[in-house]
Amino acid sequence: MQVIRYKLIALSLFFLMVSGASAQQAKHKSHDKREKGKIVWNYDGGVFFETDGSLPNGVCFRIYGSMNSGDFFNGLKRIDTDQATIFRQGTQTVTKFPDTVTVAFTIRDLLCPDGVQQVGTHPYLTQKMIDSLRLAIYWKHGVDLHPVKGAKEISSRVDRIQPYATSLAAELPARYEWSYQLVVPGAGVSLMDSLAFVFRTPDGHIAARVAARL
């Protein structure tokens, strides 16, 4: 199987607000607690992200994944108050990401919502379309983007999505999901930064964008 080819691209700032998954991020930050004027978030299990994307040919897909690093996120808490935001592991204050983080994500074929799907067509995501995508990865601080250098893919696989009507599987078009695992350098990066992903087609069209943020 061919792997996604990476190409770091200098993107214009007008699309830097990686907001496609903000609602999903809120869902995945577990155990939101309000205690005496402060909000506490727990990150056991890592940081999760999710968004939907589409291609100019009418194909739609979903991207979902997680950012982790050994036991770093287990026991990590973000504490928001009126005065500041701090991160703690037990009694220790933490300000930086570890030297590397591991990102695992899946691109899954998805039927387009009503109004997006072209009438009379039913296109599916293919290996050729996946291979054509360009992924740019950034550490994002405010509106500033810092391209990630040295990200490495360590595994990838493709699996067929099993239909609900298993008895009709042989008669239905095959749909797939593609899974990848990357190691991304994070040394010296503030925990207030987010890890942003921009997927583009060869002609520069933005197919999807999402961020893993604490």
* Alpha-carbon distance values, 60 to 5, 14, 149, 210 (Å): 20, 24, 29, 15
172 exposure class (CB count in 10 Å sphere: 0-12, 13-18, 19+): exposed
pTM (2 decimals)? 0.78
How far the first Cα of the chain sits from its last, in Å, is 33
The pLDDT value recorded for residue 121 is 58
The pLDDT value recorded for residue 23 is 40
Residue 101: name the closest of 68, 74, 73, 76 by CA.
Answer: 68
Q: Which residues of the chain have pLDDT under 70?
A: 1-36, 114-122, 164-171
State the average pLDDT for the chain. 82
Phi, psi of 47 (to 5 degrees): -110, 130
Q: What distance in Å separates the CA atoms of residue 31 and residue 43, rounded to the nearest whole number?
A: 9
For residue 212, is it left (φ>0), alpha (ψ between -120 and 50) or beta? Answer: beta
- Please write the tens of the pLDDT for every residue from 55-67: 998 899 999 999 9
The strand pairing partners of 147, in sequence order, are: 138
Phi, psi of 57 (to 5 degrees): -80, 5
What is the radius of gyration, based on Cα positions, of the chain? 19
The pLDDT value recorded for residue 155 is 97
- Please write the tens of the pLDDT for every residue from 49-105: 999 999 998 899 999 999 999 999 999 999 999 899 999 998 999 999 999 999 999
Half-sphere CA count of 21, side-chain side, radius 13 A: 28
* Alpha-carbon distance values, 182 to 69, 99, 135, 176 (Å): 11, 14, 12, 20
Phi, psi of 168 (to 5 degrees): -105, 10
Would you list the domain boundaries of the chain?
5-212
Residue type, 134: R
